[in-house]
Each structure stands twice: as C-alpha cells, then as structure tokens.
Structure 1
Amino acid sequence: MELFALSDVPEVREGDDLAAIVEDRVDLRADDVLCVASTVVSKADGRTVNLDDVTAGDRARAIAERLEAITGEAKDPRFAQVVLEESNDLVMEAPFILSETRFGHITVNAGIDRSNVPEADLLLLPEDPTGSAERLHEELGVPVVVTDTCGRPFRHGQRGVAIGWAGMPASRDWRGETDRDGRELGVTVESVVDELAAASNLLAGEGDGGTPFVVVREFDFGDHGGSDNLFREYDDDLIRQALQAWEFPG
C-alpha cells in the first residue's frame, strides 16, 4: 500500500467543511482509507476552550494542588476542571491525570491539547469521533479513521492511535485461522485502525507540518472476520482495575 499526506491545507476553523478541503486536494479512489487528525475535526466542530471562561471546582483545585506538590510546577486548577468535564472517569489523579473520555478512550488529560490552537487556550478531543468519521465516510465514500497520539505503557514515546472510524471494522479477527504449520490461532485480533493511524502519523507529524489528512491507498483488509471492539470494557480491563486500586506514594 501507499500513504501520502495532502498538502496546502489551510488553518481549519469552526464550521469549515472538512470533506470539501479533502476533495479540493485529491481524487479519492474506492481502495483509499482517509486518516484525519482529531485536531482538525475538533477545530471544525468548535471544540475550543478559553481558560478565562472556566471556574474550577473543589475537586479540580485539590487535584491541581496535589500535582503541583508532586512536580514542583504550577498547575492551573481550571485545566483540571476541563479534564474532569471531558471525562467519564479518572483512572489516576497522580502523578498525572489519566482519564477515560466520554467515548471510551483512556488517555492523559482527556486528550486535551495546547498545541496548534491559535485562537484559544485549549483544544478538546472531538465529542464523538466515530460519529465524525461516519459523516466524512458518507460524504467522501471511503473508510475514515480519526487519529490522535498518546503514550504507551512500558515504552517511551507517543504513537498514533484511532479514536474513531467508519466504513471498515476496527480489527481483523484471525481466530480460527491457521499459521504456516496448521496450528489454529486462538487469540489474535489485529487492531487495524490503530495500525493505519500509526502509519499515517509518520506523515502527519506532531509539530507545524500542517498535514492533518493522510490517504492510505490500496490497503487490503483481506478475507478475515471483523470486529468493532477497540476500547476494553471495565470488567475486561485488568490494567485499569490495577491502576485504580494503586495509590501514588507522593
């Protein structure tokens, strides 16, 4: 397969038509998948916040005070308040905030970004990334993956992940198929949308490149079963349960 980023993309603002921006720059084919950085989805949806408009509650102030004591750096309780408002649940409050977003993604600070937000203090993740992907899929006629970057347990560095998708399953299910020696696979479910998101992030980048749209051409899902299960349910998430039972010693 081939990947390429769309060039000359303007600064996206609230109300902009993302499908039109894409169509002005590429003739999409039936075998394409469009990967879209969540930042432009959020900007088009007006998901920005100015801290002057936020009033911190008691819990937010307590979290900020504890984090400031741990890190020795000033922490704005209004930022903690926005994280709380964007979260279903906090997995950890220290030494950093790890939260479950309202659509099920677990990430630091509810995925709130301070970078590349020229007209506000904060950029929130899309309210419904899969809903946004579905609208773009209907308008463009190709599968769409909405991507974000986040860290990984046990490893340094961030990588691209899918937070919303439409027009294709999230995963390829290899269970029931066989390896080269004829042994039946019993547990392998491949998160294809995460792999496409990570590949697209190599081109989209993290800084000032201005390339939030990446086309994946000639990707073949193959003759496999598909699944849309991506975010683990709480009862099936042993790591999350362990983290919530753990208390940071600081």
Structure 2
Amino acid sequence: MELFAVPDLPEIREGDDLAALIRERVDLREDDVVCVASTVVSKAEGRLFDLEEFPPSPRANELATRLGELTGEEKDPRFAQAVLEESTELIMEAPFLLTATRFGHVGVNAGIDRSNVADGDLLLLPKRPTESAERIRAGLDADRVIVTDTCGRPFRHGQRGVALGWAGLPASRDWRGERDRDGRELGVTVQNVIDELASAANLVAGEGDGGTPVVVVRGWSFGDHAGSDAHFREVDGDYVRQALREWRYTGGIH
C-alpha cells in the first residue's frame, strides 16, 4: 500500500470544484481511495461563518460563563451558540462541550474549527459528509472517497484522523465467521476500515500551515469480506454516551 499527498492545491474558496482540482494534479486509478480533509470540503461548500451570525441564546451565555469560570479565560457565547446549533445533543457541558453532530459524529465543539479560517471566524463541518464524498467521487476516476477530520478519543492523548463521510466502499469489513491462524472462529472482529484509512492519510497530510488536504491511498484492497456501512455507534448501544449523560463535572482545570 502506498500513500501520497496531492500537490499544489490552491486555497479553497466557496464554489470550488474539488474533484476538478484533484484531477488536474494527479492521475488517479480506479481502485484508489481519495481522502479529502473536511476543512477543504467545508470551504468549498460555504461553511465559513462569522461569530456575529450566531447571536447567543440564554443557554449559550450560561455555557460560556461556566466554561470561562472553569478555565479562567473569557469564552465567547457566540461560539457556544454555534456549537449548539450544529448539534443534536450536548453530551457534556464541562470541562468542554462534547456534542453529537446532526450526521452522527461525536466530538468536541461539534467539530467547529477556528484555525485556517482567514476569511471568517468559524469553519463548520460539512452538513452531510457522505453526500459530499459522493459528489467528489462523481467527478473523479477513482471509485472511493473518504471525507476526513481529526479529533481526540477517550483514553488516549492527542488527535488522530477519522472518517466523517465515505463513498464507494463499506465503512467496515466483517471478519466474524472467518478463522484465525489457529483455526478458531472469529466472533467479534469488525474492522472500521474508513477510520483506519483516514488515520493513515492524516500521517501523510500533516497539520498546521504545512498540511496538505488531499491524500491518495493506492494499492489497498478491501478483500473478500462481508462489509457494513455501520460507522457511528447507535445511541441505544453506546454505553459510554449513556454514562456521560448522567455524569457531572466537579473538578478544576489543571
């Protein structure tokens, strides 16, 4: 398997044709997987906003005040309002805002970005990342596209790449019913391949001002396995989320 960044992409603006920009810079193969950072997808789709477009509600003022008290830093209630509007559920409200987005992703601050947004204050995630992946795929010679982002995860330090939307491949491959090296039948292994590909792409894409937003994965095969489009955990079976709903933060910031 080989991964390489698509070179020399310009600063993306609203209305730009991402597929055309990618096609101009790389000769794609049908079985390539094209991983596209959600930041450029959001910019092309006009998801850049100013804070003044989110007049704060009483709830947003309350959240900003409490977070400011905990951190000793002033928090803008307009940002809290943007988070609320992009979320279907506020799972945790302290010491940070952990939310579920409208398309099912769980992350801090509804995934709203305040970096690399020179023409505005906030960059919101794509509204429907899988539809975004389908549109990009329709303009490429490659059959598989993943819209990626970076976020933290429980029980680990740091961030890693994750998939928000995908097209042309299942989200997971199912090893259940197959045999391990000792002949034992596998009973629980479902491998989330779109997250793993997104994480591998993030190693190549990089971060900060040296980052490259599109990475091609070449030579990877799904293999002869059952597939599934289950990606975001169903709420009824998400026991960590259920526990967090009952948990209340009582500590300080260290």
Fold agreement, TM-score > 0.5: yes
Match of 1:100 in 2: 100
Q: Stretches of 4+ moved more than 6 A in 1?
A: none
- SS of the aligned residue for 1:156 comes to coil
Distance in 1 of aligned mates of 2:165 and 2:66: 33
Equivalent in the alignment of 2:17: 17
Which residue matches 2:82? 82
Structure 1 segment 39-188 matched on structure 2, within 5 A: 39-141=39-141, 142-188=143-189
Read off the aligned partner of 2:224 and give its amino acid letter: D
Q: Which residue pairs with 1:205 in the alignment? A: 206
User: 1:4-39 CA deviation, whole Å, 9 max, x = no partner?
Assistant: 001111000000000010000011101200000000
Letter in 1 for 2:41: V
- CA–CA distance in structure 2, aligned partners of residues 31 and 217 of structure 1: 7
State the number of aligned residues.
250
Report SS of the residue matched to 2:64.
helix
Name the aligned partner's letter for residue 228 of structure 1.
D
Q: Residues 105-134 of structure 1: CA distance to partner in whole angstroms, max 9, x if unpaired?
A: 000000000111110000000000000001
Q: Does the aligned pair in 2 maintain the 1:9–1:210 contact within 8 Å?
A: no
**Is this contact kept in 2: 1:48–1:123, CA < 8 A?**
yes
Superposed CA RMSD in Å reads 0.8
Distance in 2 separating the partners of 1:237 and 1:210:
33
Which whole-Å deviations, capped at 9, do the CAs of 1:152-187 have from their partners, x for residues lacking one? 111100000000000000001000101011100000
With the length of structure 2 as denominator, give the TM-score of the two structures: 0.97
1:210 to partner: Cα distance = 4.2
Distance in 1 between the 2:214 and 2:156 partners? 27
Q: 1:136 offset after TM fit, Å?
A: 1.2
3-state SS in 2 of match to 1:147 = strand
Gaps of at least 5 residues in structure 1 are none
Distance 1:107 1:205 in 2: 20
**Match of 2:196?**
195
Q: TM-score, normalised by structure 1?
A: 0.99
Q: Secondary structure at the match of 1:144?
A: strand
Code of the aligned partner of 1:114: R
